[in-house]
Structure 1
Amino acid sequence: MKNIKTKAIYGFAWSITDKLFSQLGHLAVTIYLARLIGPEKFGFVGVLTIFMLLAESVVSSGFTQALVQRSHQLTKEDASTIFYVNFGWSMLMYALLYISAPWIADFFHQPELVDISRILFLVIIINSLAVVVRAKLTIKVDFKSQAIASTVATLLSAILAIFLAQHGYSYWALVWLIISKSLFASIGIWLFCRWLPQWRFSMESFRSLFKFGSNLMFAGFVATLVNNLYVALIGRFYDATQVGYFTQASNLSNYLSQFISSSLQGVTYPIMTSIKEDRERLINVYKQLISITMLVSLPLLVGFAAISDDFVRLLLGDEWKPVVPVLIALSIARTITPISSINMNILNAIGRSDLFLKVDLSKLPLALGTLYIALPHGIEGVAWAMVCTSFIAFFINAYFPGKLFGFGAIKQLKVATHYIIASVIMFVIIINLPVGENLIGLFTKIIVGAVVYTLYLLVVGDNLLHRGIRKISSKLITGG
């Protein structure tokens, strides 16, 4: 039996592999399609994101974590019951959205959305079928199988989408990219898990899992609504092109943020649930996770803000130039998101989904208020409003972990002092670096930024970085 540390390292390595090959590949294809079809057509799919994500939050978000949280006591009845519940929810959600398609199209003044939405929303049903098998693999900390399935799905869906885009299918290429990736990934993890639901439905299993999962489900619904309401209202009050700009900026900044948080949390959540009875050990894992996340998230997102102009011009094209100021603001907003996610994640690990729900509900008035103020100021105003809400939300998210574990927002920020200073210095140097406006210049900025950030931390003697370097050096010297 592998110990906790070995499991975490092995799982994290495969989770990173998944993000690099699967999600980065998916992002690259999305960027290619965006360049090919333009902001307006890209925005057609963007405005539907909120409906798809809201439905999925109802279908899967609560029960997935409920299954993982019960990892040691999970029974066959539990798994089969949740499989049928998820499938039933997904069919209901799809039916409601199918009927609502004409109203959705009228709301956004885009008749094309009727057909697009009715096809795109099939993803909800496809994803619901993989909830239990994905949870089972996560409980085993088996991220290798998930990474392989996801990578193969990305490759196959990319081939299909590029073929459709090059043959004039416009936004339909993006629609089928999303659907086919979900389908291929679901098939893949089913083959790896080799689990089949039994003809059993236990009301006792449903009640106990729903008691924990319902809070997360509702919290997930609220969080999804808050995070995507911006796009929906931009689609309502502005044109599809503005939606395309904002959606693209959200996709790019969210990718980096989620790359960090999902890689670390996907692995550590099942680990934390397995040691939740050992308070001292749990707090130690939690504090280390906060520190590692800050070490990585701040330079990545601040650095991306610094190179955003070059990135957009070289990879998306001049047609996408207006996305740059929005992308800078959202990248800054996302610097704190991975840390906020960890603060919420530990509440789930200890079974306090009730606190998770309270925190998410408390942020709803804040988001609605800032959105009301910012909406008349265009997509740039909305983006900077998200910066404000993101940082205020960090203090709200850290409140209960501070009470429960003595490691609140102020202490977390103190841990990040060196990382914040290093990131600011890096940002200033990158934007003033006199290099050519080409790919070589872009890569030069990235390398210089990484070197500046690392050198600063070495000079000030950052313990986490020094410890990591010593471990790597030791491994290389001993050969394993």
Structure 2
Amino acid sequence: MFGVRNIKNLRRKALSGFIWSASDKLINQLGYLGVTVFIARLIGPESFGLIGMLTIFMLLAESVVSNGFSQALVQRSQQLTEEDSSTIFYVNIGWGAAMYILLYFCAPLIAKFYSQPQLVDIARVLFTVLLINSLTVVVRAKLTINIDFKSQAIASTFATLLSSIVGVYLALKGYGYWALVWLLISKAAFNSLGVWFFCRWLPKLIFSYESFKSLFKFGSNLMLAGLVATFVNNLYVALIGRYFNATQVGYFTQATNLSNYASQFISSTLQGVTYPIMTSVKNDKKRLVSIYTQLISITMLISVPLLVGFAAVSEDLVKIILGDEWLPAVPVLVALCFARAITPISSINLNILNAVGRSDLFLKVDLSKLPMTLGALYIALPYGIEGLAWAMVCTSFISFFINAYFPGKLFGFGGIAQLKVAYKYIIAAAVMYAAVTQVSITGSLWLTLIAKIALGAVVYSTLLVILRDTFVLQNAGPIVNKIKQRLVG
């Protein structure tokens, strides 16, 4: 059981980790998004779509290389040995090389699948990212175990800055889609150098079959789950590229990137920080459930209005940052924002299964969603990219209950209980959306956008006070009192 000192130390580490992780996601992801948006304006939807076509193959290979073992190392943090770390380091390098060689020779087949011959050269260059990322799995896990998100944030900042210079320079020089390719490669390379610099760990020339076997037992479930989830989440883009064209892929990919930014900022920040925290208290069920339930409340409080608000201002935002050429992406972006509104909560529900060592349940959850997603794709494909986007809305909400099933069984906080916590946030966000979409100021897109954001914030926060949300009232009071004390002092 945890003592008072340990709990305080855990809170301090969690707060520090959250601040640095949030800063990393906010500054670096926003900066990276800004660069890709700038490049997208220069190269257009078709060139952007060519890179999007390769996404599913890249992410599937990444799942094999890193998904399972990284979390397995963190999950074993309290008993981690040098043999474990060194063994997994060499395994990841081997798998990274194997994935690259496989995809290198499959590049002509990928190009034929999409009827885009230029994808052969693009794929063979872009997939070198797999080799680079395979070198960083263990060092990232070590930094995460120590809740050292400061070092990861600094490394990511420099990587974003330097790779942005590379990408923008190539785009301005007219290199088209190659600007995006080298943006991705240089970002991976600079990030790798950064995390190695901060970790200061070197693998030993040892390989333990026992370490591999025990870590693979846990990690293989996560790897398979990652493969299934990646396949399901990116199958939409692959089918659009197969049955439509690169321009449509560009619209869908850009809408996905924009909606994912807001969603992943919340889920990856909280998940990255809380996973090692929940792992460290996994034997204290009362403490674990307390952290879990509070995390669900905080996430819903933030994610629902943020994504619904994003949907409400999507047209103005696209016009400002991308231009009228990208307006066909707006209906897709609106739908994906609604789909992503609950994604962070689903991530937490799956995260707690990993924290308590139940990667087998994680795998069962992801496998159970596969038939539903394939069925939705089959029905929606004739309706184009908008139909596919709304299919994702439907599957996301059904997936929420599937993801919450096992946490409900294990901890008594399933989908219905979570919705009871969230219903006030959903009501407030729906009213906010209705109010914001009525705002229109002639002649100034920036003024309209600012007015919509301000109105949305006021409407949402006011409604939560009127609805007397318990979580908000309990936490808003102390914050207001501290502000008053500062002002008086």
Residue by residue over 1:425-470, the C-alpha shift from the partner in whole angstroms, topping out at 9 and shown as x without a partner, is 1101110013244112212211111111111112222222233323
Tell which deviates more after alignment, 207-216 or 428-437: 428-437
Equivalent residue in structure 2 for 1:248, among 242, 247, 254 = 254
Matched, 1:456 2:447: no
Residue by residue over 1:306-348, the C-alpha shift from the partner in whole angstroms, topping out at 9 and shown as x without a partner, is 0011011111111101001000001100111111111100000
Matched, 1:314 2:309: no
**Aligned-pair CA distance for 1:48:** 0.2
Q: Partner letter of residue 137 of structure 1?
A: L
Q: Partner letter of residue 452 of structure 2?
A: K
CA distance in 1, matches of 2:233, 2:475: 34
Structure 2, unaligned stretches of length 5 or more?
Answer: 1-5
Equivalent residue in structure 2 for 1:138, among 144, 149, 164 = 144
Scaled by the length of structure 2, the TM-score of the pair is: 0.96
| 2:346 alignment counterpart | 340
Equivalent residue in structure 2 for 1:171, among 159, 171, 177 = 177
CA distance in 1, matches of 2:285, 2:414: 16
Q: Partner letter of residue 439 of structure 1?
A: W
Q: Partner letter of residue 475 of structure 2?
A: G
Residue by residue over 1:255-292, the C-alpha shift from the partner in whole angstroms, topping out at 9 and shown as x without a partner, is 11110001111000000000000000000100001000
Matched, 1:61 2:75: no
Structure 1, unaligned stretches of length 5 or more?
Answer: none
CA distance in 1, matches of 2:131, 2:290: 39
**Aligned-pair CA distance for 1:478:** 6.4
| 1:292 alignment counterpart | 298
Matched, 1:357 2:377: no
Residue by residue over 1:332-385, the C-alpha shift from the partner in whole angstroms, topping out at 9 and shown as x without a partner, is 001111111111000000000000000000000011111011111100010011
**Aligned-pair CA distance for 1:7:** 1.2
CA distance in 2, matches of 1:424, 1:221: 34
Residue by residue over 1:53-99, the C-alpha shift from the partner in whole angstroms, topping out at 9 and shown as x without a partner, is 00000000000000000000000000000000001000000000000
Tell which deviates more after alignment, 142-151 or 439-448: 439-448
Matched, 1:472 2:468: no
Matched, 1:88 2:94: yes
1:408-447 paired onto structure 2 within 5 Å: 408-436=414-442, 437-447=444-454
1:72-471 paired onto structure 2 within 5 Å: 72-436=78-442, 437-471=444-478
- Structure 2 vs 1, CA of residues 478 and 205 (structure 1 numbering), >3 Å: closer, same or farther? farther
Percent of paired sites with the same residue = 68
Scaled by the length of structure 1, the TM-score of the pair is: 0.98
Equivalent residue in structure 2 for 1:19, among 10, 19, 25 = 25
Give the paired residue count. Answer: 480
- 3-state secondary structure, aligned to 2:313: helix
Residue by residue over 1:125-181, the C-alpha shift from the partner in whole angstroms, topping out at 9 and shown as x without a partner, is 111111101000000111000001001110111111111100101111111111111
Q: Partner letter of residue 341 of structure 2?
A: T
Report if aligned partners of 2:439, 2:448 keep a CA contact under 8 Å in 1.
Answer: no
CA distance in 2, matches of 1:450, 1:144: 30
**Aligned-pair CA distance for 1:475:** 4.5
Matched, 1:36 2:36: no
CA distance in 1, matches of 2:187, 2:357: 32
**Aligned-pair CA distance for 1:474:** 4.8
Residue by residue over 1:212-258, the C-alpha shift from the partner in whole angstroms, topping out at 9 and shown as x without a partner, is 00000000000000000110011000010000001011111111111
Deviating beyond 6 angstroms after TM superposition, the runs of 4 or more aligned structure 1 residues are none
